[in-house]
Amino acid sequence: MSRIGKAPITIPQGIEVNVANGLVTVKGKKGTLTQKVDADITVTIKDGIITLSRPTDHKRHRSLHGLYRALIANMIKGVNEGYKTEQELVGVGYRASNKGQMLELSLGYSHNINFQLPAEIKVTTATEKGSNPKIILESHDKALLGMVAAKIRSLRKPEPYKGKGIKFVNEVLRRKAGKSAAKK
């Protein structure tokens, strides 16, 4: 039995969850999210607790059981608390600024990169003297936030020799030694 799938989800105060025709809708103070659930997985709400069940122990049903339980739990946490990710730009002359939902990045290319963010994501940029510029992304949708953060990171991935590029805060990069000194 799936350990993740059989764990119940408690609905916090102020969160409204509806299940209809294989579609789970979660409403909260941060926004509204919907997720289509496979027809084989049964979602039941009773006394403020969501439980998911599967018809058989086939591999497909086991994997979907845990998947949908995790997706619904992430939706509930997102509309209640929200998600936040921070990225920093490591490199001389790397800058980030935003005007509304337009993120402007200077990453050492011959031109600046303008990145239009979805309306569901709130972006702030911070540049403090003595530290690397930061991009802070906040949203109630965890999947969308992760995709946008990965896309921004892909514009200039951190390279292994000096570590220059866009990296997540607290991300540990695998570094290489580079060329060794000339032999005598």
Question: Which are the contacts of 90, defined by CB distance < 8 A and separation ≥ 6?
Answer: 132, 158, 163, 164, 165, 166, 167
Band (pLDDT 50/70/90 cuts) for residue 1 is: very low
Contact predicate 59/116, CB 8 Å: no
pLDDT in tens, 169-181: 998 888 888 887 5
pLDDT per residue over 130-176, tens digit each?
Answer: 899 999 999 999 999 999 999 999 999 999 998 899 999 998 888 88
Per the rule left: phi > 0, alpha: psi between -120 and 50, beta: everything else, 173 is beta
Query: What pLDDT, on the 0 to 100 scale, is given for residue 163?
Result: 87
C-alpha closest to that of 114 among 106, 99, 103? 103
Is position 181 within any domain?
Answer: no
Does residue 74 sit in the same domain as residue 107?
no
Query: Quick one: 114 and 50 in the same domain?
Result: no
Instruction: Give the domain-ending residue among 80, 105, 129.
Output: 80
Residue 183 lies in a domain: no
Residues 160 and 143 in one domain: yes
Same domain (yes/no): 27, 69 = yes
Q: Which residue has the tokens 């972006």?
A: 123
Binned at pLDDT 50, 70 and 90, residue 84 comes out as very high
pTM above 0.95, yes or no: no
pLDDT in tens, 107-135: 999 999 999 999 999 999 999 888 999 99
Tell me the average pLDDT of the chain. Answer: 91
- DSSP state string for 15-51: -EEEEETTEEEEE-SS-EEEEE--TTSEEEEETTEEE
Q: What is the pLDDT of residues 91-104, one digit of tens each?
A: 998 999 999 999 99
Task: Judge if 96 and 20 occupy the same domain.
Answer: no
**98 and 23, same structural domain?**
no
Tokens of 71: 């997706």
Q: Which of 80, 114, 129 is the last residue of a domain?
A: 80
Into how many domains does the chain fold?
Answer: 2
Q: Mapping DSSP to helix (H, G, I), strand (E, B) and coil, where does residue 77 land? A: helix
Judge whether 127 lies within some domain. yes
Q: Is there a domain that residue 179 lies in?
A: no
Specify the range with the lowest mean pLDDT, choosing from 1-5, 72-76, 80-84. 1-5
Specify whether 33 is located in the same domain as 93.
no
35 with 87, same domain: the answer is no
- The pLDDT score that the predictor gives to residue 177 is 85
Residues 6+ apart with CB under 8 A from 171: 158
- Contacts for 117-120 with beta carbons within 8 Å, 24 or more apart? 117/148, 118/144, 118/148, 120/31, 120/144
List the domain range (segments joined by +) for residue 111: 83-168
Asked if residue 32 lies in contact with residue 26, where contact means CB atoms within 8 angstroms, the answer is: yes
Please check whether residues 138 and 160 belong to one and the same domain: yes
What CATH code is carried by the domain that includes residue 61? 3.90.930.12
**pLDDT of the residue at 103:** 94
Residue pointed to by tokens 């497909």: 60
> Is it the case that residue 63 has pLDDT exceeding 80?
yes
DSSP-based three-state secondary structure for 74: helix
Task: Note whether residue 128 is domain-resident.
Answer: yes
